[in-house]
Structures are given as structure tokens and as C-alpha cells.
A and B are shown apart, each in its own frame.
Chain A
Amino acid sequence: MATQHSRSAARMMLAPAVILLLGWMLVPLIMTLLFSFKRYLPLRGGDLGWTGFDNYVRFVTSSAFWPSVQATLVIVLGTLLITVVFGVLLGILLNQPMWGQGVVRILVIAPFFVMPTVTALVWKNMFMDPVNGLFAHLWKFFGAAPVEWISDASLFSIVLIVSWQWLPFATLILLTAIQSLDGEQLEASEMDGAPVLKRFYYIILPHLGRAITIVILIETIFLLSIFAEIFVTTGGAFGSRTLTYLIFQRVLESQNVGLGSAGGVYAIILANIVAIFLMRIVGKNLDA
């Protein structure tokens, strides 16, 4: 009886949190779905009634759609590539015993605590500014013409900024994974005649497989929705408009809630497709 009693008590106590979370998620979701089937222009007549799938068709057929998908993919994949590769290398580096290890580790993690808006502003103004930026000075020092990062290499700049922000996260997860590697395994492979690079390829990398999938999964979910970094730097110009940014523009700049909501539904579907794929990979990895 006691367990049944405590079980129902537990349910009662969980209920507020569950209801709150469900409400938080379900209300916006249902509203988005509703708006996506409506012609809704807040400053131009408000709710103009149902339109069926018009918004969905218009969103996909707009000339801005495919470029935005491409920009999203470039940013997500580029950032993933940089953070995973450098995360593994930094993780291995930080795992070496060295003087001041604790301080160095905290410093490496620091960028993760900086707000995205601040990160983007710092990079835009301190590093990438074509007149006063550090990069501009560096280029000039070597006699080259400063690069106009934000306009000439907009996607690359954003990938760079976002990577700087997410590298600590990848490093942290991968470092803990490296620390859990059994030292005797490395010694055994050394005895077995594997030189450094082969030890990395045959022992360390497979050991990190699971951690890398988790990094990719979590980062993808967050990277699909990056916004501040684009808003602050390019404002969606120079081909840096992602799907998220396109939705923002449709809703707030064009004041077309219906069209934006349809975009939002596409984004939900896209995120779920990615999530299903990643869950499968993770699941496979976790079984092994």
C-alpha cells in the first residue's frame, strides 16, 4: 500500500511541472499550427480568414527559401566540423598533465558562458571590423588588404563566431570521454606496435565515438536555431539568412504571421527528421 500511496503522491507533486511544461510547449505549437493555415497580417487588416495550404506553398516557392536552407546547412555542418575536430584535439591536449591545468581548463570553457549577442558583437567589432579590427591590423601588418569579413565572407564569419562559442562545449564533453579511456588499452596498443597516429585512429577515436555523436546531436539541435549571431552581425544580409532568420523576417519584418508560422512548421519537421536520424545513431552507439 505504501508504494501505491507514495506513487500517487509523486504523481500529484509532478503534475504542476508536467502541466506547465506541456502548456508551455503545446500552446505555442497549436497556435503556430493555427496561424499557418490563416492569412494573418497584423498591420494590414489582421486576421483575414483561412487560406488552406497557401502559406506553405508560398513559403517554399519563395526565392529566399532554398538559399536559406543552404545557409542553415553550411552554418550547422561547418560549425560541427570545426568544433568536433578541434574539440578532439583540444581534449587530447588538455588531458596531458601540465602546469596550471585547472586554470587553463576554466579558460577554455569560458567562451561558453558569454551570451551569443555579446560574442557576436565582440567578434564583429574587435576582430572582424575592416578598419579597427585585430584581423585588419594583422592583415595590414603583412601588407595585405583587410578582409571585409561580415560582407565578403559572411557565412564563414558566422561559422567562426558560432564555432568559438560551441568549441568549449565539445571540448568539455570530449575531454571527459578521453579521461575515461583506460590507460592500459593505450599501453597495450603501444606494445602491439601501434605508433601514435594509429593509436589515435584505432583506439582513441573509436572510444570517442559515442561522445562525438552526443556532441553532434546536442549541437545540431541548438545550431539549427541560432539567431542572435546573425541578427547582430549581418542582419540576414549577404546570403547569411538561415531558415530561422527567414521565419523571423516573415513574421516581424513583413508582418506576415501566417507565412512565418508555415515556415515554423517546416522548421519543426526538419528538426524532427534530424532528431530521428541522430537518435538512431546514438541509440546504435549506446547499445554497443
Chain B
Amino acid sequence: MGRITLEKVTKSFGEVNVIPPLDLEINDGEFVVFVGPSGCGKSTLLRLIAGLEDVTSGAISIDGTDATGLAPAQRGLAMVFQSYALYPHMSVRKNIAFPMKMAKIPEDEQKRRIDAAAKALNLTDYLDRRPGQLSGGQRQRVAIGRAIVREPQAFLFDEPLSNLDAALRVGMRLEIMELHERLATTMIYVTHDQVEAMTMADKIVVLRAGHIEQVGSPLDLYHSPRNEFVAGFIGSPKMNLIKGEAAQSHNAATIGVRPEHIAVSTTEGLWQGTISVSEHLGSDTFLHVHEHGLGDEPLTVRVGGEIPVKHGDRIWMTPDQERMHRFDKNGLRM
């Protein structure tokens, strides 16, 4: 069981208030992703839950019991660090066994759990190696193995994939998701990569400067972002945010149109612009359009498949009115 509740939690480092009063509810078995730009306090929040930092005020409860003052080890949580934080002088086996050794679990039970974890994570052949002799992905799996054997109430991941190369990242992402399906344990995952957030989460928590901007399922956030920040942060490529006359004609301070919700034509449409860069990915083509008379920012447009346009071409664009997002002058959704 891993129900985690944060009540009016704050954190200050000296004068600097990193987390203003914050409430959050994480249900048992949920995969929750904290996402936000660098320095938004998402890692601090995770460390507060882990107990590596003390809250300045407020309360954290795990499974209904107050854990605010508990030491990290007593909270029943396991953490996977960005640098993996493996113990370099211990073999993989000893690394994985370490938390169980500290908890004084009997030897044969330790061995059973190590073998099970190693089998699940494809580490059986590497148990006697040192972390220094493993690849990045293998080290990552050892770190996860060390977390699994504790049979924790919740897993905490602190940007675990950011040190891996792109191909490995996709693979590990799938492995972590499979792990979640299999264990059905609460997982809290911190990342600044919104693709990871969208693909993995049951629930995304978007943070900015310690504030929770929005909490919801990935598609909630995609379809109805609560404000301009969330709108701009979730989705790839970024949503086009247009101010000025075009927005006023829709009675809004800003309108947002996702690149995939703009139809492109070489002959007619609502807006006209000049292509500066076209990125051909095969499956999609991303066009960056300038001189569209809608502000200084270039518009990004996604076209499915290929389209025979190049730098300097004039094109017409028509936004999908149904899927247009309108924001008031405070940036809130209308």
C-alpha cells in the first residue's frame, strides 16, 4: 500500500522559499510524474517525500500514518537516483543486497530476492561484477534492482533516464512501465522531459516555481490545459501561443493552437506565412513559419507524412477552431 498525502507542505532554504504551501494526494498504485522546467522544485518535492530534506512546515503522511518526522529509511520508500548512486566498491550482488543487509533480512531470503530481481532485470550474468564494469543501462537496472528488493510501499525516481542515450532511454522507459504494471506499486517519477511524462504517467503534476500548475491525466493536460504555462509545456512540438489581433477576434488575450491542429494548404487558408525551416521526419513534417503577421514568434505546424515544400515557400494555414485554446489576460483557460 502506498498512499501518500502532502498537506500544506512548504520548504525554504534560508530566505529562499522553494516550495510554497502545497497539497497533493497520491493514490495507491498510481504512476505519478512530477514534471516542470529546471529549478521548479520537482526534485526538492521528491526529496521531501523521501525524507532526505525536512519540510519547513506542513505534513506528509504515508498510508495514513504521519511520516513528517520519520527518517528516510523508516518511510518504506525506495529511491532511484539520477547518478544511480551505486556503491562502486561492491559487486552488483552486494549492491542489491545492501538494503536487505541493513534491514537484517535472513541470508536465504536475501538470496531469493536477489535472484528474483536479477532475473526480472536481466542481471543474472552480471551479479559478480562491479558497477564500474557495467554499461549505463545495466547500472540503471542495478539501481532499480536495489530498490525492488526492499519491497517498498512506493518507488521514487529522480530523473533516472537523463544519463542514458536516446535509444536506451526509450527501452528503459518501457521497462519501468512494465515494472509498474507487474508490481502495481506506487511510483513517483521526476523528469523535465514531457515525453516521458506523457507516456508513463497515470497522473501528471506540472510544477512551476514550486507551485502545482495542474494535476491530471496526460490527456487531460493535453486537451484542456488549465493555463498558458501548462499549454506550452505539455505537447511536442510546443503549442503555438498567439497574442494580438488574431486572439482578440476570438475574445481572448491569447489563443493556443497545437502544431498538429493546423491545416496547411498552398492555395488558401486563414493565415499566410513563409517557411523558414522544414524538418522532414518521414512520418511527419514540421514546418517553422515566419512572416505570418501574428507576432514575432515563428509558428510551428505539423503535417502528417510528407509535403513538397521548402525554405522560402509561401503557405496558407488554417487552425482547427474546435481545438483552439483560449486564455484570458492572466493566462488562465477561458
Q: Confirm or deny: B232 has a beta carbon within 8 angstroms of a beta carbon on chain A.
A: no
The CA of A202 and the CA of B85, in the complex, are separated in Å by: 14
The chain A residues found within 8 Å of chain B, CB to CB, are: 182, 184-185, 187-194, 198, 202-203, 206-207, 209, 288
Which residues of B come within 8 Å of A, CB atoms? 50, 52, 71-73, 77-79, 81-83, 85-90, 98-99, 102-103, 130, 146, 150
A-B contact pairs, 5 of them (CB 8 A): A187-B81, A190-B71, A192-B73, A198-B102, A202-B87
Does B50 contact A191, Cβ atoms closer than 8 Å?
Answer: yes
Beyond A182-B83, A207-B89, whether A192 also contacts B102 by CB under 8 A is yes
What does DSSP make chain A's interface, helix, strand, loop or mixed? helix
Return the contact of B89 from the options A182, A190, A194, A209 (Cβ within 8 A): A209
Which A residues touch B102, using CB under 8 A?
192-194, 198
| Chain A residues near B89 (CB-CB < 8 A) | 206-207, 209, 288
A191 touching B87 in the complex, CB below 8 Å, given contacts A184-B82, A198-B102, A202-B98:
no
Q: Which residue of A lies closest to B104 (CB)?
A: A193
- Residue pairs across A and B with CB atoms within 8 Å: the count is 59
A156 CB to nearest B CB, Å: 35
- Known contacts A198-B102, A288-B130: A188-B73 contact under CB 8 Å: no
Name B79's closest neighbour in chain A (CB-CB): A191
* Chain B contacts for A191, CB-based, 8 A: 50, 52, 72-73, 77-79, 99
Contact of B85 among A184, A206, A209, A288 (CB under 8 A): A184
In the bound complex, residues from chain B placing their C-beta under 8 Å from that of A193 are 73, 99, 102-103
Structural contact, A192 and B99, CB atoms closer than 8 A: yes
Which residues of B have CB within 8 Å of A185? 85-87
Asked whether A188 lies within 8 Å of B103 as measured between CB atoms, the reply is no
Bound together, the chains give a CA A202 to CA B89 distance in angstroms of 9
6 nearest A-B residue pairs (beta carbon)? A193-B73, A188-B85, A192-B99, A184-B85, A193-B102, A206-B89
Q: Smallest CB–CB gap between A286 and chain B, Å? A: 13
Q: Which of A185, A191, A209 has the most CB of B within 10 A?
A: A191
Residues of B within 8 A of A207 (CB): 88-89
A185→B89 CA distance, assembly (Å):
12
Bound-state CA distance A194–B52 (Å) is 13
In the bound complex, CA of A182 to CA of B146 (Å): 18
Known: A184-B82, A203-B87. 16 other contacts (CB 8 A): A182-B83, A187-B79, A187-B85, A188-B81, A190-B72, A190-B73, A191-B52, A191-B73, A191-B99, A192-B150, A193-B73, A194-B102, A206-B89, A206-B90, A207-B88, A207-B89
Interfacial chain B residues near A202, Cβ < 8 Å: 87, 98
Residues of A within 8 A of B81 (CB): 184, 187-188
What separation, in Å, do the CA atoms of A189 and B90 have in the docked complex?
13
Q: Which residues of chain A have C-beta atoms less than 8 A from B103's C-beta?
A: 193
Interface centre among A185, A188, A206, A288 (most CB of B within 10 A): A188
Kindly state the separation between the CA atoms of A190 and B71 in the bound complex, as whole angstroms: 9
Candidates A184, A190, A206, A209; contact of B83 at CB < 8 Å? A184
What are the residues of chain A within 8 A of B72 when measuring CB–CB?
A: 187, 190-191
Nearest-CB distance from B281 to chain A (Å)?
A: 36
Please report the C-alpha to C-alpha distance between residue A288 and residue B81 in the assembled complex, in whole angstroms: 23
Contact: A187 with B98, CB < 8 Å? Answer: no
Among residues of B, the one whose C-beta sits closest to the C-beta of A207 is B89
